[in-house]
Structure 1
């Protein structure tokens, strides 16, 4: 049907329990392992963080950097050997100095720094590739060039005039004193150079919030990285992000019982119910809108909602709603069908520009093809659970034009049914195979309470199978009889 109307298949949610990816207020700040510790400090100071997630060039989480690690690195740094002990790049040095600096000669270098950092007191020791920090009064600019210095950082006052040194290596004017310049350069070392292996907690986007709350509460860690399935960073979260996280909001359509709903429904806020089934034992924490009617299809109710709002559905939506009504009512043959369903279907067919009889028969026949379905898929594609007194039951219904062909795989079907019985502690699993041409259903019953079927329909199961003439509706012709039979057992 979706292909017929060129509609993209909607996403199937396996659960609506709140997951980390549902958090709307998260922190997105991170640091790359090649970024400078100065940049890390700036982010921590601005955002009031004590730690940051560290990612590699592919944006994958590799570590965490804590502010205490940066502080300890400062205490341990040797200025002379800083570029050997903590590998860094000319790009990082420029990032640390650029707000107070200007290139006044030559081309600023790029890449890894191979030499040592030399100050005024060490100008006589300059070797090839060294980075030199000096002043206007040192008199060693030319000597630094001859010794093979890679670059000279000239520390001056902002009002100082710089003479033309006419040398072939780059000179950078830094409007700061030597001590301050040394300090800023020491902040240029990359984050990865100070990191130590550590154990830290991180979460996946698919983790449930209820599962991570205790971990966050008991951990001394304050920031927790969150990664996507491929290991790339998604965000960072703190306890405050999950303290007041609201429930997911849902509207229940074509069902109203928790046992028939998506996993995690008990954690959600139900805004509305639109349904045409009986109401089970469900509770809500606050009032909600309920639109229910004794009709053959919930789309008949939904179409009424369109009309109440004065909205005419487009051809695609009209075609989809028409398909639902024709399917649920077996083109008006089902005992659940009402005049309201017929009227709605005819109006929708007119909007969609379809002959409902011709389209409906083609749709039903196409829908009965089970060639590409596994036994598990066959028994679960339209299965509902019911609590009937002391009995837990599952009733699956399949529309087909070839019941015998379906039962050729009876052994595999029964194996799949038995697995579901054991997994969910069902007393009865009833597979209803509805013949849309001959207007009846063949049933296959499995479980320790198959007598419920025999009593409900006043029949005898032969090898677990029976034919129910004229029975095509699970809602009106199957469930009420099973419920009645369970009350006397």
Structure 2
């Protein structure tokens, strides 16, 4: 199983979410958790991209979910065999998983052989006596018999009946046909008689080599002559295991894809005789094998949440993961864990502030690019300390980070706000989703989007498009209410766009106003966390 610990912000990540994830991952790597990996749950905003480009930092990896997948728990180094391997080869490698994948020349899955298949074939010893239906490669036969080819061509194959030369020579010559196989011990007369009959193969058992004359006779008649240390009984059993696995493999056997959910693999194995599944990639190449034991031992991916602690905002599959820590500056959410974990929820303006203070606690300085990114996250969430959520701790952390990065916070803020207010290549639908958070109060699901801007006119011009998008999402996402805040950074106020009468009634009660249209004016309101969520939660809880 992979040992990464993902440090993840919320869905529809804002700048603070991504900055905190990257900054905290760097700190964890430097303090004993090298597997800490920053991740994001959506595309960076223009503001975030501006910061990443300015400080020459790659965006964190995009993560769809943290469900446990087959690739996380499989054995990545499985035993497997080519299609021309023998049944005896399969028996030696099949192991406790009771199954061996069979692959073609390009390592693509061709089928599987199970322990039951081998056992069934081993018991069918009459097949060869009555005439083998499968061709057996001479190389495979010699290898399976632990034998030595004394005469004849090692290339090619054999097919026919098998005779054990226990009868009188006179009887044998009346039964054996050209092309048959004769298995005989240290008896030169029947050995030579079989050669002169033109048998396809003569196997001399018991570990006693045939005479030089017999070997020369076999060469003269172009008869394959094999000497083996095994007795006649074991040879006939081993011949049955010389056939290629391709003859009896299960070509339609179940398998798992690398990205299948572990739960789906469990369901596939449930009720089946086999205890394991081959695992293939998109090109059907074998990449592993997963057993019931592997699935039972799965313990979920390690996850640390930053900048949120509500399940509706968290990565999909969190219930299957190992939640290790939470680092946030929002109200306490609804997460549950089976055991105690480290949680740090602080009443400050940004999670980047908390990360900066943790660097200080560890007596470490973030590198200038990380310091600049954290400063950007702090500036974004506090609106350059103008937000009512801003605290002296935020200002102190911002000053310290700016010094390490060698930047001016005022100049950084101007660049960020300009980047975030360029709407040339975006749409109202994208803007609503870009910084959306979903809450659940009193059994009601509420979606609240926000955009911070220095171009409030854009939102006034496209207000109806925002309302249409909210109406659509209420239906498709099963929300009870939807709101959107267009926050004017310069005027320090917000326009709340509402899609219908239900939201208007709730807004009027929550904010003590008497709005009548589709836009609610909220002077002095700039913080969703501190000025919008609490009154709505009180009204709807």
Of the candidates 468, 476, 482, which is equivalent to residue 429 of structure 1? 482
1:339 to 392, 415, 428: 392
1:32, 1:54 within 8 Å by CA — same for their partners in 2?
yes
Once the two structures are superposed, what CA deviation does each residue of 1:56-110 show, in whole Å capped at 9, x if it has no partner?
444444444333333333415225843xx2244344335424xx3456678742x
Residues 231-266 of structure 1, C-alpha deviations (whole Å, 9 max, x = no match): 444444443333353344322211112222122333
Going from structure 1 to structure 2, the CA distance change for 1:160 and 1:299 (only over 3 Å counts) comes to farther
Change in 2 beyond 3 A, CA 1:318/1:185: farther
2:529 to 475, 479, 482: 475
Distance 2:250 2:92 in 1: 21
Tell me how far 1:429 sits from its aligned partner: 0.9
Instruction: Say which SS state the counterpart of residue 277 (structure 1) adopts.
Output: coil
Q: Which of 259, 262, 269 is residue 315 of structure 2 equivalent to?
A: 262
Task: Give the match for residue 359 of structure 2.
Answer: 306
Question: Aligned equivalents of 2:105 and 2:314: distance in 1?
Answer: 42
Matches of 2:60 and 2:84 in 1, distance apart? Answer: 41
1:93 and 2:169 matched: no
Alignment of 1:352-367 (within 5 A): 352-367=405-420
For 2:116, the equivalent position in structure 1 comes to 68
Cα distance in 2 between the residues matched to 1:419 and 1:379: 12
Determine the C-alpha separation between the residues in 1 that align with 2:471 and 2:143: 67
CA distance in 1, matches of 2:364, 2:142: 62
CA drift of 1:304 comes to 1.4
Alignment match, 2:382: 329
Q: Secondary structure in 2 aligned to 1:284? A: coil
- Say which SS state the counterpart of residue 78 (structure 1) adopts: helix
Distance between the aligned counterparts of 2:405 and 2:192, measured in 1?
84
- Residue ranges of structure 1 left out of the alignment (5+ in a row): none
Among residues 229, 232, 242, which one is paired with 1:188 in the alignment? 242
Could you tell me how far 1:145 is from its partner in structure 2? 10
The CA distance in 2 between the partners of 1:173 and 1:467, in whole Å, is 98
Give distance in 1, aligned partners of 2:241 and 2:265. Answer: 35
Question: Over residues 250-284 of structure 1, what are the superposed CA-to-partner deviations in whole Å (9 max), with x where a residue is unaligned?
Answer: 22211112222122333444322211111134443
In the superposition, relative to structure 1, how do residues 28 and 124 fare at CA in structure 2: closer, same or farther (>3 Å)? closer
Larger deviation, residues 459-468 vs 336-345: 459-468
Residue of structure 2 equivalent to 1:17: 67
Q: Using a 3 Å threshold, how does the CA distance of structure 1 residues 221 and 432 change in structure 2: closer, same or farther?
A: same
User: Which is further off, 347-356 or 454-463?
Assistant: 454-463
1:35 maps to what in 2?
85
Number of matched pairs:
475
Give the root-mean-square deviation of aligned CA atoms: 3.9
Q: TM-score, normalised by structure 2?
A: 0.74
Cα distance between partner residues in 1 of 2:182 and 2:298: 54
Rounded Cα–Cα distance in structure 1 between residues aligned with 2:324 and 2:339:
9
Deviation string, structure 1 residues 193-230 (Cα, Å, up to 9, x no partner): 124666x5544444444555565444444334444454
- Give 3-state SS (helix, strand or coil) of 2:390's partner: coil
Map 1:456-471 → 2, pairs under 5 A? 456-461=510-515, 463-471=517-525
Question: Bigger relative contact order, structure 1 or 2, given CA contacts below 8 A and separation 6+?
Answer: 2
| Deviation larger for 257-266 or 405-414 | 405-414
Structure 1 counterpart of 2:305: 252
Relative distance call for 1:230 and 1:371 in structure 2 (3 A) is farther
CA distance in 1, matches of 2:212, 2:430: 81
Partner of 1:113: 157
Matches of 2:227 and 2:369 in 1, distance apart? Answer: 68
Change over 3 Å in CA distance of 1:322–1:237 after alignment to 2: same
CA gap 1:78/1:94 in 2 versus in 1, 3 angstroms: closer
Following the alignment from structure 1 to structure 2, what is the Cα–Cα distance between the partners of residues 485 and 17? 35
- Superposed counterparts of 1:274-289, under 5 Å: 274-289=327-342
Judged with a 3 Å threshold, the aligned counterparts in structure 2 of structure 1 residues 185 and 221 are, in CA distance, closer, same or farther, namely closer
Counterpart Cα distance in 1 of 2:189 and 2:456: 99
User: 1-side partners of 2:82 and 2:427: how far apart?
Assistant: 47
Distance 1:404 1:91 in 2: 82
Alignment of 1:394-433 (within 5 A): 394-406=447-459, 408-433=461-486
**Which moves more between the two structures, 306-315 or 59-68?**
59-68
Task: Mark the CA change 1:116 to 1:401 in structure 2 (over 3 Å): closer, same or farther.
Answer: farther
CA–CA distance in structure 2, aligned partners of residues 156 and 281 of structure 1: 76
* In structure 2, distance between residues paired with 1:486 and 1:67: 61
> Quick one: distance in 1 between partners of 2:536 and 2:96?
63
Task: Work out whether 1:318 is the aligned partner of 2:362.
Answer: no
Per the alignment, residue 77 of structure 1 pairs with 127
Contact 2:139–2:154, Cα closer than 8 Å, also in 1: no
Asked if the contact 2:437–2:449 (Cα under 8 Å) also holds between the matched residues in 1, the reply is yes
